[in-house]
Amino acid sequence: MTKLIVICGATATGKSGLALDLAMRLGSVILSADSRQVYREFDIGTAKPTLAEQKLVPHYLIDICAPTDIMTVADYQEQAQALINSPPSSSSPHPPLLMVGGTGLYIRSIVQGMKIPRVAPHQELRSQLESLGQIQLYPMLQQVDPVAAHKIHANDIVRTLRALEVFYITGKPISEQQGENPPDYPILQIGLDCDVEKLGNRIHKRTEQMIADGLVAEVEYLCKKYGADLPLLNTLGYQEIKQYLAEDISLDEAKQLIVLHTRQFAKRQRTWFRAYPQIEWFDANDPNLLEKVWQRVQNFLDNSN
């Protein structure tokens, strides 16, 4: 039977390192759950596993999308489920799979079996709807899908647009197409966390390491290849370096902004993951973290046969 071990938590808590150690002990593969690592060529700024790490343990769901394309949650779910449900390559016991990352929706789509309407973004329709403004859009949503409108804040234009888009393309309310169908295989969810000050130190060190590894050159190359207006270049780490390359700020200011914005992002991640009681939390700074998690993993495997 397939078994899934999830390693989640805020950015810079050491998820990838822990997962690599566990995978080598278990003989497992790693499924990334990171919404930016799916894109090719965005490597340093997304803390993507290095080639050396990928040689140690096979990593999947990274480098599967061109930077100019859009990877939806539905796309991710489809590819992840296909990997999880694929039969073992031999008759030997199938080792557990490790899903690792900080993108909560990616993880939730798998562990809770989210039902996601298979409707691709329709730019022309979105543009027409956006031109009306949220003041008109929200009452429209209340009329065609009052259930969805009840769950969406009146000022949330992103979710309002998506709900209307799904309705006008499929003819069915998005609320009727959503829901959950949890998988029947055992799942262990492990979360890594630490206090805010220590996490801040981790973020600062990782930012310095990214700069040392060549983040500036990576951003410069991507800007030249795809243009500075590529949406991915407006995300964390890339946007700040882009400002530096445009000579709007100094490199030190760019680093300070990356740290600040990463800390704000980590706070949102912590809030998201803390809402799920199924996650078992471990201290990211515990010197015995690997052994404690290993003991929990062994207990999980022994009791889920």
How many Å apart are CA 140 and CA 122, to the nearest integer? 18
Tokens of 176: 């009727």
Residue 154 annotated as binding?
no
Residue 179 annotated as binding?
no
Residue 50 annotated as binding?
no
Q: How far does Cα 193 stand from its chain's mean position?
A: 16
Residue type, position 30, single letter: I
Residue 284 annotated as binding?
no
How many Å apart are CA 143 and CA 55, to the nearest integer? 54
Residue 2 annotated as binding?
no
Residue 16 annotated as binding?
yes
Q: What is the DSSP string of the chain?
A: ---EEEEEESTTSSHHHHHHHHHHHHT--EEE--TTTTBTT--TTTTPPPHHHHHHS-EESSS-B-TTS---HHHHHHHHHHHHHSPPSSSS--PPEEEE-S-HHHHHHHHS-B--------HHHHHHHHTT-HHHHHHHHHHH-HHHHHHS-TT-HHHHHHHHHHHHHHSS-HHHH--B---SS-EEEEEEE--HHHHHHHHHHHHHHHHHHTHHHHHHHHHHHH-TT-GGGGSTTHHHHHHHHTTSS-HHHHHHHHHHHHHHHHHHHHHHHHT-TTPEEEETT-TTHHHHHHHHHHHHHHT--
How many Å apart are CA 123 and CA 129, to the nearest integer? 10
Place of tokens 């998506």: 162
Residue 133 annotated as binding?
no
Residue 9 annotated as binding?
yes
The annotated binding site for ATP is made up of 9-16
The annotated binding site for substrate is made up of 11-16
The annotated binding site is made up of 9-16
